[in-house]
Amino acid sequence: MIRLVLRDLRLAVRAGGGFGLALAFFLIACVLVPFGVGPESGRLASIAPGMLWVGALLACLLSLDRIFATDFEDGSLDLLATAPLPLEALALSKSAAHWLTTGLPLSLVAPILALLLNLPSAAYGSLVLSLLVGTPALSMIGTFGASLTVGLKRGGLLLSLLVLPLYVPTLIFGAEAVSRAAAGQGNVTPLLLLALVTLGSLAVLPFACAMALRGNLR
C-alpha cells in the first residue's frame, strides 16, 4: 500500500502529472472572486470562509478523474486489480495519494489566499485545521466517483455531477467551522462533525469503491 502511494506521488510530481494544477486553480479562483463581487474589504471578509472552501473543493474536483483514468488507459489498473492487494486497499491508497498531492498542499497554501480575501485573522488556524480535517473526505468521496466513472470515455463532467452533491455535508461543516471562527464563536461542533464525515467516508467508502471497480473491470 505504502509503495503504491509512493508510486502515485512520484507519478504526480514528475512532468505531466499535473501536481501544481490544483494549486494554481485555487489561486486563480480566489483571485477572481474580488473581480466578481468588488474589492470592499468588509464584503470580502464576510464571504471569505465560504469562498475559500468552495475554491478548495473545486480545485480538488479538478484532479479527480486522474485518480484512475491514467492507470486504466495504460492497463496498470488491471494489473493492480489482479495483484494480491485487495481492491479496498487500492482505493484507500489511491485516495491517500490524491490527498497528499491536492488536499494537503491546498490546506497549506490556504492562509496565503485567505490574506488576499481579507479573512479575519482569528480564523486562520481554523481554516487550516478544517481543511486538513475535511479534504481527506473530499479525496475519498472523489475516489468513489472516479471508480464509478473509470471506464467511461467522457467521465469528467459526469464525475463532477456525481460527486458535487456528495460534497455538500463536507462543505457545509467546513465552511461553518471557518465562518464561526471568523465571527469569534466557538467552532468545536462543526469541526467534530467534519471529522465525523471524514472518518465515516474513510471507513465505508473504500468498500463501495472496490465494488464499483469490480463492476467496471469485469
Partner 1 sequence: MSLWEYANPRKFMATTDRLVGPLFLLAALCLGTGLTWGFFFAPDDFRQGSTVRIIYLHVPSAMMAINTWIMMLVASLIWLIRRHHVSALAAKAAAPVGVAMTLMALFTGAVWGQPMWGSWWEWDPRLTSFLILFLFYLGYMALWSSVENPDTAADLTSMLCVVGSVFALLSRYAVNFWSQGLHQAASLSLDRDENMSNEFWLPLVVSIAGFVILFIALVLLRTRCEIRLRRVRALELRERVP
**Nearest distance from C-beta of residue 212 to partner 1, angstroms:** 5
The DSSP secondary structure of 183-210, one letter per residue, reads: TT---HHHHHHHHHHHHHHHHHHHHHHH
Binding site residues, partner 1, CB under 8 A: 141, 144, 148-149, 151-152, 154, 158, 161-162, 164-166, 168-169, 172-173, 176, 190, 193, 197, 204-205, 208, 211-212, 215-216, 218
Minimum separation from the CB atom of position 214 to partner 1 (A)? 8
Distance of CA 180 to the CA centre of its chain: 22
Nearest to 52 by CA among 184, 171, 192, 190: 171
Q: Judged by CB, which is closer to partner 1: 21, or 164?
A: 164
Q: Are 143 and 205 within 8 A, CB to CB?
A: yes
- In the bound state with partner 1, the residue whose beta carbon lies nearer, of 26 and 173, is 173
Pick 55 or 206: Cβ nearer partner 1 = 206
Nearer to partner 1, 4 or 212 (CB): 212
State the nearest-atom distance from the C-beta of 182 to partner 1, in Å: 15
Q: Identify whether the C-beta of residue 30 lies closer than 8 Å to the C-beta of residue 113.
A: yes
- Cβ atoms 172, 111 nearer than 8 A: no
Q: What is the smallest separation between the CB atom of 27 and partner 1, expressed in angstroms?
A: 27
